[in-house]
Amino acid sequence: MRYRYCCIKGELLYHTFTLKSIIVYKGGNVMDSTKVFNNFPELITDRFYLKEISLNYRNDFIELMGDEEAMALSGTEVTDVEKQVDMYFEKVKAMYEAKKAIRWAIIDKETGEFSGEIGLYNIDFYSNNTEVGYTIKRDCWRKGIALECSRKVSEFAFQEIQMNKIIAMIDSRNRPSIKLVEKQGFHKDGVLREHYYNHKDEVYVDICVYSLLKKDNYWGK
């Protein structure tokens, strides 16, 4: 199975209010769900470290974003790979500082090799929802990397930043990513018809909208 980036990258760079701290209640205890933005939250799965994206991985991202097949259904059209990688690094940093996104580099525990990237974006602490997306290197496809890491990120979203809903917006042609979210228990909410225009292919693309609620309890399986 080809695990590709399942979501259209449409991060919001600004918001109408400044978020300083969100206090929620869980089991009678007061919690600050934005504390993860004080120190970057690195995660660990059985086979991978999810680390903060930094310039150490610049060449890895250039290789990843320069792979036309890997990026084909990502919603990102790459024309100048090095320039776009640098812009992406700046955006990742800005979105984290604005408490709107958290992106991780996927690093193989055994080899230390870069396998791809995964993250949450459009984090909404008012309505407690976020979007998930990932990109896996082509030579790492069909190894269950996206499934393993997305389960960990979903667990983080529900438990650590108290999200109620995780959204996946997927190119309707991207059957592997659709199968992946369905395997995780995501519910198909509908289709946004001709929602995205692909300039390279000169075609309007339908976007399938999937969501997973905290109460669905699939994320813990």
Rounded alpha-carbon distances, angstroms, from residue 1 to 30, 77, 174: 42, 23, 11
**pLDDT confidence bin for 201, thresholds 50/70/90:** confident
Compute the average pLDDT of residues 86-109: 97
Q: Is the pLDDT of residue 4 over 80?
A: no
Q: Which residue carries 């934005």 as its tokens? A: 34
pTM: 0.84
Q: What pLDDT sits at residue 41?
A: 97
Nearest CA to 176 among 143, 205, 200, 198?
A: 143
Q: What pLDDT sits at residue 79?
A: 72
**pLDDT confidence bin for 9, thresholds 50/70/90:** very low
- pLDDT greater at residue 69 or residue 31: 69
- 45-92 pLDDT per residue, tens: 999 999 999 999 999 999 999 888 877 766 676 678 899 999 999 999
